[in-house]
Amino acid sequence: PAATLEVTDGSEDLKARRMRDDDPSLLETRPPVVTIMGHVDHGKTSLLDAIRSTNVTASEHGGITQHIGAYQVRLKDGQRVTFLDTPGHAAFSAMRARGANITDIVILVVAGDDGVMPQTIEAIKHAKAAEVPIIVAVNKIDKADANPDRVLQQVAEHGLVPEKWGGETIVVEISALQRLGIDDLLEQILLVAELEELTSRKEGRAAGTVLEANLEVGRGPVATVMVQKGQLKLGDHIVAGAAWGKVKALVDDKGRQVKVAGPSTPVQVLGFSEPPNAGDEVRVASDSGQARTLAEARAQRIRTTGHIPIAGTGARLEDLFEAIQRGETATLNVVLKADVQGSLEACTESLRKLERDDVKLAIVHRGVGGITENDVQLAKAANATIIGFNVRPDRRSRDMAEREAVEIRTYEIIYKLIEEIQSAMLGLLAPEFEEVVTGEAEVREVFRIPKIGAIAGCYVREGTITRGTKVRFLREGTIIWKGSITSLRRFKDDVREVQSGFECGIGLSDYQDLKDGDIIETYEEREIPRTA
């Protein structure tokens, strides 16, 4: 889907409002927004259902909630908690990649009978990268083989040291299925929310983020928006990405029509000109003219800066070659950072020119300045390679890139940059090699000769062993060493090659640990001429 990452619009009106957003006298406590993460089948959906069904009173639309991407529960004392009901890491990091930080608290669900699994670790990484507090919910404690202590041990190993072991991580034992511990979990969420001092401007024009949007028959474009500041009202002139319009209807998570929605409230918004994209920032303009102008300026910018694929499409530099070889149309996603606007334009221009039919290039994001953690997060979510021209990552973003396996390439000379990206994109034209085994010898005995080192006494079984060729040592079919033949002897003489059926001595300079029975295999890489 096409989208824009640019949320600034330069309008004085909006700038003035942003300033006011920080004015402490206008800030009020707001409900926390919670995302549930964890490994598949550990009970994320069950937990969302458990919370929803135990906290939605019958008076609220017969107890049935709409699935609009999020819901809010009201606890006995009137406090509220908002849950994003699309569990999953992709959604979380895609939102973050778009600059939208919606989540205040992450609940990490870990099944007590299964323990920490790969996606649990991934969730921890995402939450840590977002600097969002994590509450661990050990689920399925009703099961006989549940072992909460083991879970504590495992999460501690990933830096989440439980409170009862002197750490800071809150751990709650629950059974989503039997509705055990749910109230305790909600209480802990409120506690963390209080510590986090979550506030926002409650009055005035709204600002928020699109959670999801689609086109519905009979309703037109429908967007679920998380209101983050101010009050979103019927009749407001709204902009989100390239979409604009006037709020025709607001529908809450219980399916009720409402007139206003305040901070941390999810609502469906009807009235957009087209469905905006998930992660788009929602703003209220002073009139329809301003809304339309802003949206059209953004649409224009999307057209000129190119489409922006998010999450999972495209390949990184290192994967590109493989994709080309599989005969697929490959897309190289790039986050481009440069020192000044001029060089940014120059790099963009040159990179664009490298695009070909079978290798597309998508600049997911570009900007002036050093490579930041934000860039890394973005690159991670969009599966992009970061290219820096005359800029470097700082230590924190370099660490993060390493953790998240995001590739960063920096250049100081533009033609180097172009050359390297081009050779990656022209993967088809890079020479292709095939390997040919040229000789095979069996180790019979290893001698140690003073001043010379170890020499493998071998019998050449096949082909020819030639000095200087590439070699690998095999033990029971496993490669134990790779290098080249540096010394080759027949009796006491140095020779250039030895044919099959003869004995020889192969000098072992770098790897001396051979045994009889090991195989020494020599090979060559031959370039395959291209037909295309």
Q: Which residues, listed in sequence order, are joined to residue 505 by a DSSP beta bridge?
A: 457, 489
Residue 128 CB partners (closer than 8 Å, separation 6+): 134, 159
Angle (CA) 7-12-18 rounded to 5° is 60
Nearest distance in Å: CB 142, ligand GDP: 5
Which residue, 36 or 465, has its beta carbon nearer to ligand GDP?
Answer: 36
Nearest distance in Å: CB 210, ligand GDP: 24
**Pair 5, 96: CB distance under 8 Å:** no
Q: Is 120 in the site for ligand GDP (CB under 6 A)?
A: no
Nearest distance in Å: CB 109, ligand GDP: 6
496: how many CB neighbours lie within 10 A of its CB? 10
DSSP conformational letter for 530: P
Q: Is 119 in the site for ligand GDP (CB under 6 A)?
A: no
Dihedrals phi, psi of 507, to nearest 5 degrees: -70, 135
DSSP conformational letter for 155: H
Among 42, 254, 467, 489, which residue interacts with ligand GDP (rule: CB under 6 A)?
Answer: 42
Which residue, 176 or 488, has its beta carbon nearer to ligand GDP?
Answer: 176
Closest among 136, 140, 137 to 178, alpha carbons compared: 140
DSSP conformational letter for 315: B
Among 176, 242, 371, 471, which residue interacts with ligand GDP (rule: CB under 6 A)?
Answer: 176
Burial environment of residue 299 by CB neighbours within 10 A (0 to 12, 13 to 18, 19 or more)? middle
Of 3-11, 34-42, 260-268, 370-378, the segment contacting ligand GDP by CB under 6 A is: 34-42
Q: Which structure tokens are listed for 278?
A: 């998930």
The residues in 465-504 that bind ligand GDP, with binding defined as CB under 6 A, are none
Nearest distance in Å: CB 170, ligand GDP: 18
486: how many CB neighbours lie within 10 A of its CB? 13
Which residue, 110 or 285, has its beta carbon nearer to ligand GDP?
Answer: 110
Nearest distance in Å: CB 175, ligand GDP: 4
Residue 29 CB partners (closer than 8 Å, separation 6+): 197, 198, 199
Q: Is 175 in the site for ligand GDP (CB under 6 A)?
A: yes
Which residue, 188 or 383, has its beta carbon nearer to ligand GDP?
Answer: 188
Among 44, 237, 337, 360, which residue interacts with ligand GDP (rule: CB under 6 A)?
Answer: 44
User: In Å, what is the CA distance from 211 to each residue of 93, 103, 251, 378?
Assistant: 13, 11, 14, 18
Residue type, 493: D
The residues in 59-118 that bind ligand GDP, with binding defined as CB under 6 A, are 87
Which residue, 40 or 449, has its beta carbon nearer to ligand GDP?
Answer: 40
Contact pattern for ligand GDP over residues 133 through 172, marking x by CB under 6 A: ------xx-xx-----------------------------
Of 25-33, 38-46, 224-232, 358-366, the segment contacting ligand GDP by CB under 6 A is: 38-46
Q: How many CA atoms lie within 13 A of 515 on its CB side?
A: 4
Number of H helices, E strands in the chain: 12, 30
Of 37-45, 147-155, 359-367, 375-383, the segment contacting ligand GDP by CB under 6 A is: 37-45
Q: What is the CA radius of gyration of the chain?
A: 30
Residue type, 214: N
DSSP conformational letter for 139: E
Residues binding ligand GDP: what is the number (CB under 6 A)? 16
Nearest distance in Å: CB 42, ligand GDP: 5
Q: Is 122 in the site for ligand GDP (CB under 6 A)?
A: no
Of 36-44, 164-172, 231-239, 314-322, the segment contacting ligand GDP by CB under 6 A is: 36-44
Among 11, 29, 45, 469, which residue interacts with ligand GDP (rule: CB under 6 A)?
Answer: 45
Nearest distance in Å: CB 44, ligand GDP: 3
Which residues in this chain contact ligand GDP in the complex, by CB under 6 A?
Answer: 38, 40-46, 87, 139-140, 142-143, 175-177
